[in-house]
Structure 1
């Protein structure tokens, strides 16, 4: 009997150890309670388990099984779901996970830098927007700011139901966009916010993609050198110096701005690949309808390079997602800083041009022009509602079939007759062009072969033309409109869509040789 008891005890211990060695089936945090799954398309679900472990995923009346591979990774694809819910998603292996209150609707990724990160509580009409944010079928999730040179598989975050208690810190552009989609379609909307203030486009691209193109060699070399020269010891010293400055600032009554903490270039949001790996990677593959993007300020010094970088980023995301050419809509940079009394060159204008040119090389993409919605004193305009509305026009027209105007008028061609230039525009609404505030269109400059621009007199001709001229230019060859960091243009269509800034020449700009 004594031996039998020992045998039983040992058997229990062995069974317990065997059970402990088995890894619980798990999923990344992009999956969770209250999530929204993209309706009407097959969606992948993935996670980890023991190698060889059988995994079963059920939702609604469908069930899918697979086995974890040698690395413990598994993946299934669930059949398209009709809009609605709530569903329960159950994942079973050695253990069981249940995700409740799952809806099927429209899922959009909200990405970019600080103007996409900018929160509802810091935007126009913040109090009103927050107290009225009672939208239980809008779901929100934010990805923390983690920089990495190796891909991350998960992040610390969870889905929440949109309410006055949860919306304040969420992306304003993302929320206002999602609310417009929800109110129009009457379906659940899921919003994934991974924006990071100050981020550069190349930080959102994998390193191997950048290494394969020699035009990024100097940029990569610069960041590699910075990262190699910055050690943990240097960082600790800078942190100590920062703390001393903060104490001094506090002792002096907190006069002036709080000292800024040290920035580790190894974890910088502009270092190539850092955000692709740390922020985007954990969400890649999750079923989405598309992406809205607000970024470019960090790349204005290399605007010509952005002509390639931005389309490359979009192409890379689409390839990695494996969901085809999903919609990708971006915000053109707003007006900013001081106005100028005379026409001048501008790196911001060149960046806007690069953004507009992206429409010509990227399918299923579009640009929301907000040249009229900025603030000279602040790089972060508070009017995020206008931004979201112009993005929503693209989605509602292109993806959801609404017969509305969505693209800002855009320069098409010009005809020169003596000292007069006639400009023709595409994408003008039936109401025609309209000059805001005053009758005469402003913001046009004209130049001859000497490339010296002067302000031009302008007038609207019919629905889609503008005639420009200047007594100072007898033989014009080029016209520019809203070509400055903070231009003074006032030309719209009758829907209030601002005319896209442009130039008719291709003369070398101020950023043409900047590559790092």
Structure 2
């Protein structure tokens, strides 16, 4: 009797198979990167054979789950368009419908990236013209995927709806067409970025939002890359802390819960708006950005383009110019670009409401650098300073149609110093593609600073309407 029971259990076990399981980001309505080898993955029984049939391919793709039950396949995608279907068959069958080919981007960062279009709380009170923007946000070929806010002690295999903070609705973690309803709680900056790309390129856009307000950069970097970049102490921080979904301040935990589960989804690039939570300790920010970008490029198995936003003027207690300087220096990172926001900040609100222009400027970076469009994407950037008599002559790159003034009739926020390192207010005059800077008190200039304070709103841009980054020519403490 016992032998028969054991035999029956063995026979029953042999007929049971774990079903194919897909991560949430692999689903109906998704956008796959056009003309690429797009990754899809999941889990099944170890050794289980899986057949993947794609409506645009002549032959099915066969893969087998590894000893750990995980499998991965690369799908050769074609030109922009759709809809397409993908059918996965093994012990069960899954059919993904309404799949488009287009351009896929990830957005991340803290509150200025997370800030939705509509007002949802005292922290997020709605962007400029939010009602009219929301009413017209109907773009069936812009697809939105919103990752839930969740921290994790270990890298996760899938994203989760997460916790409710700052009034942002807990997302369904699935691909959705962009409509006034689905985009209401979505990143406004990312939406305007996607909208500009969609209109200018005329192709479907997939945008994955993984952002969380009030977060520093360290939680967005995996432990391995923090250590490799020389941040061993930071990497170990919080090892003794419990695994809590709202532990957004602990190193690597947002990477584990919100970024790692998306890997290796095939992306064109990423956009990043963060820095406010690091402005009081700016010295290592460039190195942290290098570590994060290297981490994400490794995990997504792609040489991602990476465009980011320099923090806007605000009444910080410490001088945020040093954080902006680190962000400016991060332009040395390959395939990166930076958006300057000195002209569109709000000294009374750390969350400026003109997210339309932030998203547009980020899109200009992508259009110029990734899609070969002849559009200006950078404001004037200091190239070199020379001293002539009692004046400092500043030469710039990215002058576009020429240098000009914004916010008044005269250039402001310039300072100049001699060897005594005492800065005084300076006058600045545009002469062709150069600036001539001086002050009567400084007979022998040594250094110039521009908009080098937390609150400075600047005054210099090019005639393409893109402002110059704050800068200094010295490295004095």
CA deviations 1:18-74 (Å, max 9, x no partner) are: 44x411011100011111001011111100001111011121242211110111111
Decide whether the 8 Å contact of 1:412 with 1:426 is kept in 2.
yes
Deviations 1:444-473 (A, max 9, x none): 0111122211110111111x2111111122
2:147 match? 143
2:341 maps to which of 355, 358, 370: 370
Query: Against the structure 1 CA distance between its residues 113 and 23, is the aligned structure 2 distance closer, same or farther, given a 3 Å change threshold?
Result: same
Does 1:334 pair with 2:333? no
Where do 1:346-425 residues align within 5 Å? 347-360=319-332, 362-425=333-396
Would you say 1:80 and 2:77 are equivalent positions? yes
Matched, 1:435 2:414: no
- Picking from 464, 467, 477, the partner of 1:498 is 467
Provide Cα deviations, 1:323-366, integer angstroms capped at 9, x if missing partner: 1x22110001111127xxxxxx9541111111111112x11110
Rg comparison, structure with higher value: 1
| 1:90-118 Cα distance to aligned partner (Å, 9 max, x none) | 11111000111111101110111111101
Match of 2:290 among 279, 294, 311: 311
1:137, distance to aligned residue in structure 2 (A): 0.6
How many Å separate the matches in 1 of 2:94 and 2:209? 25
Secondary structure, counterpart of 1:392 in structure 2: helix
Instruction: Give the distance between the partners of 1:272 and 1:73, measured in 2 at CA.
Output: 27
Distance 2:408 2:296 in 1: 44
Alignment match of 1:33 (pick from 10, 28, 36): 28
- 1:55 corresponds to 2:33: no
* Aligned mate of 2:199, from 178, 183, 186: 183
Which of 254, 258, 283 aligns to 1:275? It is 254
Kindly indicate whether the alpha-carbon contact (under 8 Å) linking 1:442 and 1:488 is maintained by their aligned counterparts in 2.
Answer: no
| Alpha-carbon distance between aligned partners in 2 of 1:437 and 1:88, rounded to the nearest angstrom | 52
Contact 2:279/2:318 (<8 A) preserved: no
Q: Deviations over 1:213-268 (max 9, x none)?
A: 44x244346x33xx64x679xxxxxxxxxxxxxxxxxxxxxxxxxxxxxxx7x853
**Cα pair distance change 1:317/1:12, threshold 3 Å:** same
Please name the residue that 1:23 is paired with. 18
The separation in 1 between residues aligned to 2:275 and 2:6, in whole angstroms, is: 64
Aligned to 2:134: 130
Q: How many angstroms does 1:13 deviate by?
A: 8.4
- 1:181 is displaced (CA, Å) by 0.4
Residue 212 of structure 1: how far off its partner (Å) = 3.6
* Cα displacement (A) at 1:16: 5.6
Distance 2:6 2:67 in 1: 30
Secondary structure of the 2:86 match is strand
The TM-score normalised by the length of structure 1 is: 0.84
Find the aligned partners of 1:220 and 1:41 in 2 and give their Cα distance.
34
Equivalent residue for 1:251? none
Q: TM-score, normalised by structure 2?
A: 0.91
Partners of 1:13 and 1:69 in 2: how far apart? Answer: 25
Matched, 1:321 2:336: no
Mapped contact 1:292–1:391 kept (Cα < 8 A) = yes
Q: CA deviation at 1:81?
A: 2.2
Distance 1:371 1:120 in 2: 21
> What's the CA shift for 1:438?
2.9
Structure 2 residue runs without a partner (length 5+) = 119-125, 161-172
Q: How many residues align?
A: 453
Q: 1:300 aligns with which of 279, 294, 298?
A: 279
Is 2:459 the counterpart of 1:459? no
Per-residue deviation, 1:155: 1.5
RMSD: 2.1
Distance in 2 separating the partners of 1:280 and 1:231: 20
Indicate the residue corresponding to 1:93 in structure 2.
Answer: 90
